[in-house]
């Protein structure tokens, strides 16, 4: 291979989520490559407040629903290696008062598309145990801060989270995906965001089902932070900023090992 040629990816990694995935994306990517190998072809649909099925806006930035973004057109059927997928951060649509039935239709749509690529898919449950620990007034404070303008009551939110968690477990059993139940020690005062100090252990466990044989090697913390700041400045294929439609050709960047990252 000539020195100017990039190495071929050995896998295709699809990451679908919202604020946890955005906040901890360097950690998630490093952990994924530790388990699956490198270089990789990353396709990522994330973003604070991201919905799986409808347009959402946080501050001055708007993003299409994950099922509506360009990622699905850019998946490679004849990928150079296996395809791995993660669906996480599924609680925003409950806060946006989308029905559990509609959310599950979006999840099933994603699973059906990923099955076309024989993806090894992991889905995380919702942190029900943490929400159950909230008092009603704490819930109202978090709802006002994180999802202003929404009116879902604490009782309604708990009922929907319980129903979605059960439905996620059932659809994983039916479609061969892996359901990962989130652990109490991953969360602190914030009921929906994984603690940074717990992120290495959390995503090591979440992504471990991608390992086909043997034991997953222990994660060496910190290596991904050499390029994390650069990663956060990459632009997605489409976003709406201050009322203007903004487009960026993908992949948005190339990592030092030759991995490509496309954002949607």
72 assigned to some structural domain: yes
For residue 172, the enclosing domain spans: 11-263
Q: Are 40 and 70 spatial neighbours (Cβ–Cβ below 8 Å)?
A: no
- The string of pLDDT tens digits covering residues 67-83 is 999 999 999 877 778 99
Q: Is residue 4 part of a domain?
A: no
DSSP of 155-201? HHHHHHHHHHHHHHHHHHHHHT-EEEPPPGGG--SSSSS--GGGHHH
Q: Would you state the pLDDT for residue 75?
A: 93
Is 237 a residue whose pLDDT tops 70?
Answer: yes
The pLDDT value recorded for residue 225 is 54
Domain CATH number, residue 160: 3.40.50.1110
Per-residue pLDDT band at 229 (split at 50, 70, 90): confident
Whether residue 3 is contained in a domain is answered as no
pTM: predicted TM-score of the whole model, two decimal places:
0.92
Cα(31)–Cα(196) distance, integer angstroms:
14
Residue 96 falls within a domain, yes or no? Answer: yes
Flag whether 65 is in a domain: yes
User: Is 1 domain-assigned?
Assistant: no
Kindly give the interhelix angle for 199-207 and 25-36, rounded to the nearest 10 degrees: 40
Number of domains the chain is built from: 1
Cβ–Cβ < 8 Å for 165, 125: yes
Domain for residue 199, yes or no?
Answer: yes
| Domain presence at residue 160 | yes
């Amino acid at each position: 291979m000539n020195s100017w040629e990039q190495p071929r990816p050995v896998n295709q990694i699809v990451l679908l989520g919202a604020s946890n995935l955005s906040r901890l994306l360097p950690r998630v990517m490093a952990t994924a490559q530790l388990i699956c190998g490198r270089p990789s072809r990353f396709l990522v649909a994330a973003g604070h407040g991201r919905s799986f099925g409808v347009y959402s806006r946080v501050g001055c930035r708007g993003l299409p629903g994950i099922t509506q973004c360009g990622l699905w057109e850019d998946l490679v059927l004849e990928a150079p290696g296996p395809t791995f997928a993660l669906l996480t951060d599924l609680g925003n649509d409950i806060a946006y008062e989308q029905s559990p039935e509609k959310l599950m239709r979006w999840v099933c749509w994603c699973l059906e598309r990923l099955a076309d690529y024989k993806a090894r898919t992991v889905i995380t449950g919702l942190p029900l145990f943490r929400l159950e620990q909230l008092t009603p007034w704490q819930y109202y404070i978090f709802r006002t801060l994180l999802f202003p303008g929404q009116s879902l009551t604490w009782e309604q939110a708990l009922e929907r989270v319980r129903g979605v968690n059960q439905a996620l477990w059932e659809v994983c059993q039916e479609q061969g995906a892996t359901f990962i139940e989130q652990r109490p020690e991953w969360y602190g005062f914030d009921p929906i965001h994984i603690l940074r100090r717990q992120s290495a252990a959390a995503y090591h466990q979440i992504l471990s089902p991608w390992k086909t044989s043997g034991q997953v090697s222990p994660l060496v913390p910190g290596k991904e932070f050499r390029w994390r700041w650069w990663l956060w400045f990459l632009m997605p294929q489409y976003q709406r900023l201050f009322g203007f439609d903004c487009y960026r050709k993908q992949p948005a960047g190339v990592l030092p090992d030759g991995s490509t990252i496309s954002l949607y």
